[in-house]
Structure 1
Amino acid sequence: MSRLPRIGITPDINDIVAPETEYVVRRNYADAVSQAGGLPLILPYGDIVEEYLDAIDGLLVTGGMFDIDPALYRQTARKPYVVKPVRTEFERAMIEKALSRRMPTLGVCNGMQLLAVCLGGQLVQDISTEVGGAFEHKPEQSATIAQHQIEIIARSRHLVCPEGTSYAVNSVHHQAVLPSEAYKPIAVSPDGVIEAVEANAGGFAVGVQWHPEYGVGQIDNIVWSGFLAAAKEYSLRHR
């Protein structure tokens, strides 16, 4: 009997003063991995990146209500931002090492933005003030409700979603990924904001701007099945 592919999930961390500080991750991330056929493992921060990567078959970089320091993508902050340098440093190291191993890597929302930065891209610091004609990408409504459509604009090497197809997605972000030669935009929203990217070369390295762990629409199942298929293949090759 083959083993389930092991998916390392990066958690968030709250600001409660130590020793009461807690790692936190929404259950639906782990549930989505389990339902797609994987074994979810939460990764506490630490200087043991190689050891973690030796133990897993895929890396899931989760979203969070904070921003990436603009200095990491060669920009100057245009207004105050909430950043989490300890978390970002850990996730950045995990992504860079996973990419070097060609380990399947999925970035969700903030995780997509950090994946893009690690690949060499830059970010829109604030959609509402920097993207003319953009609609609200961080609405008041729950992430359990679809907010807008996305259109697949390029064929993915790893996700089975035909070019030209539209899907409904949720939306919980105020920053976005800028175009770059380092990756290929896979999907955009009607206002032109990039909603999914894929590394140009290497293994599965995909970022999605929405939150597929909520299972709002058909594209969410496509994301999880593609990610877990890549992780299973990686496991068979390396274990």
Structure 2
Amino acid sequence: MIHLPRIGITPDINDIAAPETEYVIRRNYADAVSRAGGLPFVLPYSDQVEQYLEAIDGLLITGGMFDIDPVLYNQTARKSYVMKPVRTNFERVLVQRALKREIPILGICNGMQLLAVCLHGQLVQDIPTEIEGALEHKPSQSATVAQHQVEVSGTSRHLRIQNGQTYSVNSVHHQSVLPSERYEILARAPDGVVEALEARKGGFAVGVQWHPEYGVAEIDTIVFDDFLAMAREYSRREK
């Protein structure tokens, strides 16, 4: 029997009272993992993080319509934000411990921002008010439509991308990542907004600001294929 790498995917949570509270996750996250050759598992919020990490070969931190508490990256909130502390705290512990184990990590949108924070980076709290001349990064159009280009601006240790390549990607965010010595900036939008990063040390730990699970751009397939390749390698190493 062929062993498929097991990918743990973090869900969002509906803000409705127990016992009706629901975990929610878009189907295309799981579909993208399956297409790339993985076996997707949803990870309910729990304090059993070590047990989860023992069971999976890769970790996918999904996006969500909320923001990370600025206190976690040593800033003061400059406006009122929608935050989900229960989700953020769970995912933060997952990422921190996965980094130590060198379990492959892919962070998407808010997941990329959390990865940066776990690597001791900081965030731009609000692109429209903090970056002069910024593009529209949170358009009203569907995420199935490309919104702007990104240009590869760094050298990746794991992704099959090259400096200077450009891709048209979708966009659904109002915050972004600031540069840090702890990670390599892999891609930027034309307005300078950081669109992809990779940890400088350790295993596969990549974040992308757009949503590759929609399959809008050629780079989307590369991101998932290379993530699953590293999860496959991790699985063999751990046997």
Q: Is this a same-fold pair by TM over 0.5?
A: yes
Offset from partner CA, 1:41-77 (integer Å, 9 cap, x none): 0000000000000000000000000000000000000
**Where does the alignment leave 5 or more consecutive residues of structure 1 unmatched?**
none
Superposition TM-score, scaled by structure 2 size: 0.99
Distance 1:78 1:85 in 2: 18
Q: Identity of paired residues, percent?
A: 72
What is aligned with 1:129?
129
What amino acid sits opposite 2:129 in the alignment? Answer: T
Tell me the secondary structure at the aligned position of residue 181 of structure 2: coil
Tell me the secondary structure at the aligned position of residue 107 of structure 2: strand
State yes or no: 1:75 paired with 2:66: no
State yes or no: 1:45 paired with 2:45: yes
Tell me the secondary structure at the aligned position of residue 111 of structure 1: helix
**Where does the alignment leave 5 or more consecutive residues of structure 2 unmatched?**
none
Write out aligned runs for 1:88-107 (5 A): 88-107=88-107
Write out aligned runs for 1:9-158 (5 A): 9-158=9-158
What is aligned with 1:6?
6
Tell me the secondary structure at the aligned position of residue 89 of structure 2: helix
Distance 1:238 1:199 in 2: 21
What is aligned with 2:211?
211
Distance 1:128 1:15 in 2: 27
Superposition TM-score, scaled by structure 1 size: 0.99
Tell me the secondary structure at the aligned position of residue 164 of structure 1: coil
Tell me the secondary structure at the aligned position of residue 68 of structure 1: coil
Distance 1:228 1:117 in 2: 23
Task: Figure out how many residues of one structure are paired with residues of the other and give that number.
Answer: 239
What is aligned with 1:160?
160
- Report the CA distance between 1:106 and its aligned residue: 0.3
Runs of 4+ in 1 over 4 A off after TM superposition: none
- Report the CA distance between 1:2 and its aligned residue: 3.4
Distance 2:233 2:168 in 1: 29
- Report the CA distance between 1:135 and its aligned residue: 1.0
Distance 1:86 1:49 in 2: 14
- Report the CA distance between 1:222 and its aligned residue: 0.5
Distance 1:165 1:135 in 2: 20
Write out aligned runs for 1:225-236 (5 A): 225-236=225-236
What amino acid sits opposite 1:7 in the alignment? Answer: I
Distance 1:135 1:43 in 2: 34
Distance 1:182 1:14 in 2: 33
